[in-house]
């Protein structure tokens, strides 16, 4: 209730921050620092483009304003499906879609769900799911799919495939597919594509290290902690990363099992949620209410955000959690880039052209959607 009143008062004179994951600052920093984890064969090439990699670290968040299928790549509400260690959630995307997806039939306002024949499921996937696998829902034709189903179909009913995975986020699945796109870009020695995928991939790996990207309670709505998302991942790094975080995290390593690495990232993020939430609650309970939020000046805008002293209290109680997740993200990004290069047969990058990799038309179009557009999916 108090939160709502503040919004009304604030609407006339200030605005709230709606910074995207890790904040723009955090993503740019993580991508930049990942370059320094690379061995010399890659370091020279990546360092030449370090500004591009840093600047474009936030493209995937901007793309949420331009592309309907973008939002689900940034998170997975894994607690909708299972509890740690998530043994009931298939780590292969096709199997997960088939396990949790629904064939919906609607007739005269009545909805029912139809079941696939087990021995025809993989054929069904190839013919009617694969191409649409990143969409939320799509139509099916009764006469075409009838033979795949156990149940009889009413030919006048409206059939759709409901992809439940997209509804709750596809982060680990998409990241795995994305990794192979980078391998492919290295194989082709396509400079533009290598850099574009590398920058985007840094973003998705960064998101995967944020505990609140792995839960239905992503902004504290379920525990009366609304606003905790930006507090943890944007406000704290903005205040402390430059002065007190150590980003020299060692050398990138070859990841022989990308899928396991991705799922370990999700599990370790998710395991931090209880502490992340309980520490915030403790700080909120202990701190005088009128000293938790303050006005702050940012880029000609007055914003209403957590006061520095209040941030300090949360920062201290987390005992380095945010810093550690950012460090792990940096090392993981470097290791993904390095592993993709190895898997592509270690192509020689020293003879790459010196041309600019920036596509001005594309950059402007994305910027325009971000500035003027409406976000698809949720904000966090």
Least Cβ distance, residue 78 to Zn ion (angstroms):
16
For residue 126, report the phi and psi dihedrals to the nearest 5 degrees: -60, -40
Rounded to 10 deg, the angle between the 191-208 and 171-188 helix axes is: 160
Size of the site for Zn ion (CB under 5 A): 4
Residue with tokens 């201290």: 316
Query: In the block, which residue shows the tokens 């594309």?
Result: 362
Q: Which is nearer to Zn ion, 61 or 323 (CB)?
A: 61
- Neighbouring-strand partners of residue 303: 15, 296
Nearer to Zn ion, 200 or 207 (CB): 207
**Smallest gap from residue 71 Cβ to Zn ion (A):** 9
What CA–CA distance (Å, rounded) separates 336 from 317?
A: 31
DSSP string, 278-330: HHHHHHHHHS-GGGSEEEEEETTEEEEEE-HHHHHHHHHHTTTHHHHHHHHHH
Site string for Zn ion, 176-215 (x = CB under 5 A): -------------------------------x--------
Q: Considering only the stretches 55-63, 167-175, 223-231, 293-301, report the one whose residues sit in contact with Zn ion under the rule CB under 5 A.
A: 55-63
Segment interacting with Zn ion (CB under 5 A) among 42-50, 71-79, 232-240, 251-259: 71-79
Token code pair at residue 46:
């990546």
Region from 61-69, 100-108, 153-161, 163-171 binding Zn ion, contact rule CB under 5 A: 61-69
Closest CA to 199 of 55, 327, 297, 370: 55
Residue 343 in the binding site for Zn ion (CB under 5 A) = no
Q: Which is nearer to Zn ion, 171 or 279 (CB)?
A: 171
CB of 189 to Zn ion, least distance (A): 28
The interface with Zn ion within residues 204-263 (CB under 5 A) comprises: 207
Give whichever of 206 and 220 is closer to Zn ion, judged by the CB atom.
206
Shortest Cβ 27–Zn ion spacing (Å):
8
Q: Which is nearer to Zn ion, 61 or 200 (CB)?
A: 61
**CA 262 to CA 331: how far, in whole Å?**
13
Site string for Zn ion, 2-21 (x = CB under 5 A): -------------------x
Residues 6+ apart with CB under 8 A from 103: 113, 114, 115, 116, 140, 145, 149, 159, 160, 161, 162
Phi-psi region of 320 (alpha: psi -120 to 50; beta: other; left: phi over 0): left
Span near Zn ion by CB under 5 A; candidates 58-66, 166-174, 312-320, 341-349: 58-66
74 is an interface residue for Zn ion by CB under 5 A: yes
Q: Is 64 in the site for Zn ion (CB under 5 A)?
A: no
* Helix ranges (DSSP H) in 89-190: 93-100, 121-124, 142-145, 164-168, 171-188
CB of 277 to Zn ion, least distance (A): 20
Positions that interact with Zn ion (CB under 5 A) = 21, 61, 74, 207
């Amino acid at each position: 209730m108090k939160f709502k009143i503040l919004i009304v008062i604030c609407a006339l004179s200030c605005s709230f921050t709606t910074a995207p994951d890790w904040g723009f600052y955090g993503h740019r920093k993580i991508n930049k620092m990942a370059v320094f984890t690379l061995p010399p064969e890659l370091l020279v090439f990546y360092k030449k483009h370090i500004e591009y990699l840093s600047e474009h670290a936030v493209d995937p968040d901007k793309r949420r304003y331009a592309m309907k299928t973008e939002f689900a790549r940034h998170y997975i509400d894994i607690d909708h499906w299972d509890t740690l260690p998530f043994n009931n959630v298939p780590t292969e995307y096709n199997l997960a879609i088939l396990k949790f997806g629904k064939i919906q039939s609607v007739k005269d306002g009545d909805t029912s769900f139809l079941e696939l024949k087990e021995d025809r499921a993989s054929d069904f996937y190839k013919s009617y799911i694969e191409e649409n696998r990143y969409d939320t829902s799509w139509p099916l034709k009764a006469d075409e799919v009838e033979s795949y189903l156990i149940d009889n179909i009413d030919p006048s009913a409206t059939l759709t495939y409901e992809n439940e995975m997209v509804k709750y986020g596809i982060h680990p699945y998409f990241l795995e597919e994305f990794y192979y796109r980078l391998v492919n870009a290295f194989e082709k020695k396509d400079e533009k594509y290598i850099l574009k995928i590398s920058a985007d991939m840094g973003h998705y790996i960064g998101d995967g290290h944020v505990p609140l990207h792995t839960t239905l309670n992503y902004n504290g709505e379920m525990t009366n902690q609304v606003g905790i998302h930006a507090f943890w991942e944007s406000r704290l790094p903005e205040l402390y990363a430059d002065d007190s975080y150590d980003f020299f995290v060692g050398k990138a390593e070859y990841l022989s099992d990308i899928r396991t690495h991705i799922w370990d990232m999700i599990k370790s993020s998710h395991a931090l949620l209880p502490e992340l939430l309980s520490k915030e609650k403790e700080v909120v309970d202990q701190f005088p209410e009128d000293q938790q939020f303050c006005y702050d000046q940012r880029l000609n805008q007055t914003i209403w955000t957590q006061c520095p002293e209040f941030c300090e209290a949360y920062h201290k109680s987390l005992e380095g959690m945010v810093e550690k997740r950012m460090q792990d993200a940096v090392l993981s990004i470097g290791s993904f880039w390095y592993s993709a290069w190895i898997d592509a047969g270690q192509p020689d990058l020293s003879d790459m052209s010196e041309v600019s990799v920036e596509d001005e038309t594309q950059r402007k179009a994305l910027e325009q959607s971000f500035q003027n557009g409406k976000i698809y999916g949720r904000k966090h």
